[in-house]
């Protein structure tokens, strides 16, 4: 019952120091004692469970049945090889699934909320999992509470506790309260803050009293059995495709079996061929391949400073055609510097500020005291704007810690994105002074007087107009303008609502946050890719346009709309105007939702950036919500699909590029697998339909299918990105994965199937010396002739598929221009596949199992020529494609 104890007693009980926090050595000791601050999740599957999960498939059941029947009928080699295929498929599936799980676990670790704690006398930001009992926790608006905390200092702190109590209205917290009733409900424990709840307003400091499973949320184990469905739309579509293929395979197999029965073929052979064809028709490894390609792609994105929180975002990224981006820190360097100030009717550079002048000194004191940033030689924490103000004070030996020591803060109203103001109440000798800073236009509406050269005089409308004119000059120079005001208040018990009225205007400062050097190139790249960049900022309209023009986002002031103008439009009017807009200035987070909806109303796929608590609705409304990893609140991160660890616009563009490449690589794998499987169906189906001897035994098909379902497909999944991918327009999310590829799929499937049949025919001709087609019928063939011909068909089927994987790297670029060795994994897969095939026919033990024989040099020449035809044919087709594309570009 921590709520019933005084904070002083808890400090003693937990052996902590509210000023210094815990020492590093003590933290390590407590970690060992209490463990990590996290809830226990679901236990992972054991190796045995994973293995049986891989076998839980209708086609695997059919294969097992086929193996048992083969063994029962004395076909031991067939039974063994089917068993090996099942086993290898299961092992590959386990490896792929475990890799995908590890990749997803790594993502969860990277997106763990951060917490500010006091340790070794310093404020440090750590992953919330590392919090231990006794830690001194600093809470500000927008952060999740990392553990159960007994508060000992609060300033207008409100916490939303719906995750625990179900009550959505934020609760006011009061550190001074001590509750005696032992049965006080959680919702009434106002001196406590609980794990997984959310600070929505104000700030506070407290002691961690319970972590992990010992917290209130841990006791009810609310999150223990959450099982998130991480399947992407693509995976769902491919699962549906698998069902369609299954039905088609069953129909084909039934027709094959019926034809074979009418032709009075061996029913066991027909049964085995039908089953192997069913398995060949469906790429069982496809879901696992898609998952691992997505997971590996996401890992690559992490290295480029983009954390993907939800796998569907990877697909959506490739379709983004609108990027709505905050200016500060994303398009700019987030290194604000005060360059100018206006005071005593004069606009000067900051270097000309006279600290001996009472008005100018009060201006700087106001900006340093009305400020939540912390600044030391070793660390700087807080909003970049506030850090810049503290740095401006240091220029004139006005150090924040010294000022706060002599002018103690006794009350405050935190910054609010609607008010665009912040106020503190500080002691000045025996007086209390309200210090307010914020947006100039909002401030002038609440100021009635002005402080000039030590005198307080009425603030006339003419003076306001002059001040605004001077602010426009600063804005035209791309400076962000902040106003400062003050007033004296009789005591600290004044109503909060009255602190920000009847203020005395002191002056204003202008600061600049220069554009990031690389952003201009990224915006140009977006423009060439059919992606529009929209800048959103709280800055003045002129300031916003100055930056937008420099970055080539906007060309004319007519492309800029302010928040006030936006408020005057209904949804339909904004939807019409938004087509021509590129910049939104002086907007609040609430406006962002309207902006997103307006762009989406035209069928656009919209990405939106955000970092604040109030940005969460717009991040959810966007197709891709992008949170800032450095300045972003936990709420924004929780609502996002992607987190930027460097808060850089260029990272969004890199993520879009990577998203496009990931989708392309998955498409390559899918089309490759299906074209290969189609080739196997055609080879068997045509031969049986024509009454010929079957060109392949069931174990041949199963083995070839195993090879093409794993290494080559996976290697295509990690193919190096197409350097020209950003020259293409964004992909429509409605487009099928087979768009522009159906013809290639059918052509290559037919080609591989016919080449396999051609190898079978050539093998028969070489062995029998006959020129007639009739020896292809079973009754006219000896067992030796069949083994010889099937060996050639087996090799051509497998090698032609492996060679065909090279064609899949690009739809129109030659493999020779791409570079044969730019995907070393694919080359390794091809070489390994050919080597395995060679070992199968040359090692007597394996040759007996597969019922094949060693080939002569002449045979290998024939097989090589036939296997290379898919590569040659596709290279010729690509030449015509490139000629066609060149003509279109010229036209």
3-state secondary structure of 405: helix
What the block records as the tokens of 380 is: 């700087």
Compute how many other C-beta atoms are within 10 angstroms of the C-beta atom of residue 35. Answer: 15
Compute how many other C-beta atoms are within 10 angstroms of the C-beta atom of residue 172. Answer: 13
Of 563, 560, 540, nearest to 549 by C-alpha is 560
Residues with Cβ < 8 Å from 241, sequence gap 6 or more?
none
Average the pLDDT over 835-860 and give the result: 91
Of 327, 315, 328, 325, nearest to 595 by C-alpha is 325
For the chain, give percent helix, strand, coil, nearest 5: 55, 15, 30
State the catalytic residue, choosing from 135, 326, 634, 709: 326
Alpha-carbon torsion, ordered 557, 562, 567, 568, to 10 deg: -30
Are β-strands 624-628 and 642-644 bridged in parallel, bridged antiparallel, or unpaired?
parallel
Task: Verify whether residue 326 is a known catalytic residue.
Answer: yes
Provide the mean pLDDT of the chain.
Answer: 85
- The angle formed by the CA atoms of residues 809, 813 and 818, to the nearest 5 degrees, is 65
Give the model confidence (pLDDT) of 591-613 as tens digits: 899 999 999 999 999 999 988 76
Residue 694 clears pLDDT 90, i.e. is over it? no
Residue 229 clears pLDDT 50, i.e. is over it? no
Query: Where residue 181 falls among pLDDT bands split at 50, 70, 90?
Result: confident
Q: Which comes out higher in pLDDT, residue 189 or 52?
A: 189
Q: Which comes out higher in pLDDT, residue 231 or 850?
A: 850
Average the pLDDT over 836-847 and give the result: 92
Of 620, 617, 644, 640, nearest to 631 by C-alpha is 644
List residues bridging with 337 in a β-sheet.
512
Query: Where residue 224 falls among pLDDT bands split at 50, 70, 90?
Result: very low
Give the model confidence (pLDDT) of 7-18 as tens digits: 888 989 999 998
Q: Look at residue 163 in the predicted model and tell me its pLDDT.
A: 63
Give the model confidence (pLDDT) of 435-471 as tens digits: 999 999 999 999 999 999 889 999 999 999 999 999 9
Long-range pairs for 467-471 at CB < 8 Å and ≥24 separation? 467/342, 467/440, 467/505, 467/508, 468/440, 468/441, 468/444, 470/342, 470/347, 470/508, 471/342, 471/440, 471/508, 471/510, 471/540
Assigned CATH class of 337-512: alpha beta
Distance CA(514)–CA(331), nearest Å, equals 9
Q: Quick one: CATH architecture of 306-332+516-647?
A: 3-Layer(aba) Sandwich (3.40)
Give the model confidence (pLDDT) of 234-244 as tens digits: 767 777 777 77
Give the model confidence (pLDDT) of 803-812 as tens digits: 999 999 999 8
Distance CA(7)–CA(223), nearest Å, equals 30
Q: Of the ranges 105-114, 523-532, 660-669, which one carries the lowest mean pLDDT score?
A: 105-114
Q: Of the ranges 215-229, 561-575, 672-686, which one carries the lowest mean pLDDT score?
A: 215-229
Residue 90 clears pLDDT 90, i.e. is over it? no
Please give the C-alpha separations between residue 330 and each of 75, 406, 523, 613, 856, in angstroms, as whole numbers: 67, 37, 12, 17, 65
Burial call 706-740: b when 16+ CB within 10 Å, e when fewer: bbbbbbbbbbbbbbebbeebbeeebbeeeeebeee
Distance CA(334)–CA(336), nearest Å, equals 6
Please give the C-alpha separations between residue 707 and each of 92, 787, 841, in angstroms, as whole numbers: 11, 21, 16
Q: Which numeric CATH code is attached to 266-281+667-890? A: 1.20.1110.10
Contact call for residues 506 and 451 (beta carbons, < 8 A):
yes
Q: Look at residue 312 in the predicted model and tell me its pLDDT.
A: 78
Give the model confidence (pLDDT) of 725-765 as tens digits: 998 899 888 888 888 899 999 999 999 999 999 999 999 88
Are β-strands 560-562 and 374-375 bridged in parallel, bridged antiparallel, or unpaired?
unpaired
Residues with Cβ < 8 Å from 323, sequence gap 6 or more?
526, 531, 532, 533, 534, 607, 609, 649, 652, 653, 656
Average the pLDDT over 669-697 and give the result: 87
Contact call for residues 723 and 652 (beta carbons, < 8 A):
no
Residue 279 clears pLDDT 70, i.e. is over it? no
* Residue 187: DSSP 8-state: G
Of 43, 35, 42, nearest to 211 by C-alpha is 35
Q: Which comes out higher in pLDDT, residue 214 or 109?
A: 214
- The angle formed by the CA atoms of residues 427, 430 and 433, to the nearest 5 degrees, is 40
Contact call for residues 807 and 874 (beta carbons, < 8 A):
yes
Break the chain into its structural domains and give their ranges. 2-41+114-220, 266-281+667-890, 306-332+516-647, 337-512
Distance CA(323)–CA(320), nearest Å, equals 7
- The answer regarding whether domain 2-41+114-220 maps to CATH 1.10.246.90 reads no
Residue 696 clears pLDDT 70, i.e. is over it? yes
Residue 681 clears pLDDT 70, i.e. is over it? yes
Percent of the chain whose predicted confidence (pLDDT) is above 90: 43
What the block records as the tokens of 18 is: 């509210």
pTM score of the predicted model = 0.72
Q: Of the ranges 101-115, 573-587, 663-677, which one carries the lowest mean pLDDT score?
A: 101-115
């Amino acid at each position: 019952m921590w709520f019933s104890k005084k904070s002083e007693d808890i400090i003693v009980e937990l052996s902590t120091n509210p000023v210094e926090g815990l020492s590093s050595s003590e933290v390590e000791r407590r970690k060992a004692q209490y463990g990590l601050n996290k809830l226990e999740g679901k236990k992972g599957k054991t190796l045995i469970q994973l293995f049986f999960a891989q076998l839980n498939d209708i086609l695997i059941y059919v294969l097992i049945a086929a193996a048992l029947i083969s063994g029962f009928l004395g076909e031991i080699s067939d039974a063994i090889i089917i068993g090996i295929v099942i086993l290898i498929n299961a092992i590959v599936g386990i490896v792929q699934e475990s890799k995908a799980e590890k990749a997803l676990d790594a993502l969860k670790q990277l997106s763990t909320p951060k917490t500010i704690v006091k340790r070794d006398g310093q404020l440090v930001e750590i992953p919330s999992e590392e919090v231990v009992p006794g830690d001194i926790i600093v809470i500000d608006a927008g952060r999740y509470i990392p553990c159960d905390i007994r508060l000992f200092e609060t300033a207008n702190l409100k916490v939303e506790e719906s995750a625990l109590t179900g009550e959505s209205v934020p609760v006011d917290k009061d550190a001074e309260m001590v509750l005696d009733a032992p049965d006080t409900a959680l919702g009434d424990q106002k001196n406590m803050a609980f794990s997984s709840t959310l600070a929505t307003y104000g700030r506070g400091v407290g002691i961690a009293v319970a972590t992990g499973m010992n917290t209130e949320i841990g006791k009810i184990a609310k999150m223990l059995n959450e099982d998130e469905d991480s399947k992407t739309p693509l995976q769902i579509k491919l699962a549906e495709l698998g069902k369609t293929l299954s039905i088609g395979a069953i129909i084909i197999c039934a027709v094959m079996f019926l034809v074979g029965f009418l032709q009075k073929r061996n029913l066991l052979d027909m049964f085995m061929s039908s089953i192997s064809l069913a398995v060949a028709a469906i790429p069982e490894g496809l879901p696992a391949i898609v998952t691992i390609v997505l997971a590996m792609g996401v890992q690559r994105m992490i290295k480029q400073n983009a954390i993907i929180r939800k796998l569907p975002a990877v697909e959506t990224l490739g379709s983004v055609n609108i990027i709505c981006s905050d200016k500060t820190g994303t398009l700019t360097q987030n290194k604000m510097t005060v360059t100018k100030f206006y005071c005593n009717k004069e606009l000067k550079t900051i270097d000309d500020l006279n600290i001996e002048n009472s008005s100018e000194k009060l201006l700087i004191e106001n900006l340093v005291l009305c400020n939540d940033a912390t600044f030391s030689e070793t660390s700087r924490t807080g909003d970049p704007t506030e850090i810049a103000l503290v740095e401006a004070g240091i220029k004139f030996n006005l150090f924040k810690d010294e000022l706060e020591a002599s002018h103690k803060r006794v009350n405050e109203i935190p910054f609010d994105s609607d008010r665009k103001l912040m106020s503190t109440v500080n002691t000045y000798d025996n007086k209390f002074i309200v210090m307010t800073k914020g947006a100039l236009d909002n401030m002038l509406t609440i100021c009635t007087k002005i402080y000039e050269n030590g005198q307080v005089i009425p603030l006339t409308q003419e003076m306001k107009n002059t001040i605004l004119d001077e602010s426009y000059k600063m804005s035209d120079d791309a400076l962000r303008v902040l106003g400062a005001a003050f007033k004296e208040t009789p005591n600290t018990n004044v109503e909060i609502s009255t602190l920000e009225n009847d203020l005395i205007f002191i002056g204003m400062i202008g600061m600049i946050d220069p554009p990031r050097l690389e952003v201009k190139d990224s915006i140009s790249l977006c423009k060439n890719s059919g992606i529009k960049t929209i800048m959103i900022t709280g800055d003045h309209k002129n300031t916003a346009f100055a930056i937008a023009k420099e970055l080539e986002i906007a060309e004319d002031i007519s492309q800029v709309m302010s928040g006030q103008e936006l408020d005057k439009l209904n949804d339909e009017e904004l939807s019409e105007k938004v087509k021509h807009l590129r910049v939104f200035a002086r907007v609040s987070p609430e406006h962002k939702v309207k902006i997103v909806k307006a762009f989406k109303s035209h069928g656009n796929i919209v990405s939106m950036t955000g970092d604040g608590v109030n940005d969460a609705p717009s991040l959810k409304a966007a197709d891709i919500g992008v949170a800032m990893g450095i300045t972003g609140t936990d709420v924004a991160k929780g609502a996002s699909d992607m987190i930027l660890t460097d808060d850089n616009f260029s990272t969004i563009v890199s993520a879009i590029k990577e998203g496009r490449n990931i989708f392309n690589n998955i498409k390559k794998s899918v089309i490759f697998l299906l074209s290969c499987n189609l080739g196997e169906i055609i080879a068997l189906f045509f031969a049986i339909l024509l009454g010929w001897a079957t060109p392949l035994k069931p174990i041949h098909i199963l083995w070839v299918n195993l090879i093409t379902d794993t290494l080559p497909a996976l290697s295509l999944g990690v193919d190096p990105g197409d350097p020209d991918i950003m020259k293409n327009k964004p992909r429509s999310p409605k487009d099928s994965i087979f768009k522009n590829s159906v013809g290639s799929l059918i052509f290559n499937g037919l080609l591989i199937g016919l080449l396999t049949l051609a190898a079978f025919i050539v093998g028969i001709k070489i062995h029998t010396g006959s020129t007639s087609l009739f020896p292809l019928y079973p009754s006219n063939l000896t067992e030796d002739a069949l083994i010889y011909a099937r060996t050639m068909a087996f090799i051509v089927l497998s090698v032609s598929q492996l060679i065909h994987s090279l064609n899949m790297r690009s739809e129109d670029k030659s493999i020779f221009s791409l570079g044969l060795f730019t995907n070393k994994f694919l080359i390794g897969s091809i070489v390994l596949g050919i080597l395995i095939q060679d070992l199968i026919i040359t090692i007597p033990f394996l040759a007996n199992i597969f019922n094949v024989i060693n080939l002569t040099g002449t045979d290998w020449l024939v097989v090589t020529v036939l296997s290379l035809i898919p590569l040659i044919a596709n290279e010729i087709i690509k030449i015509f494609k490139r000629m066609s594309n060149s003509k279109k570009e010229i036209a």
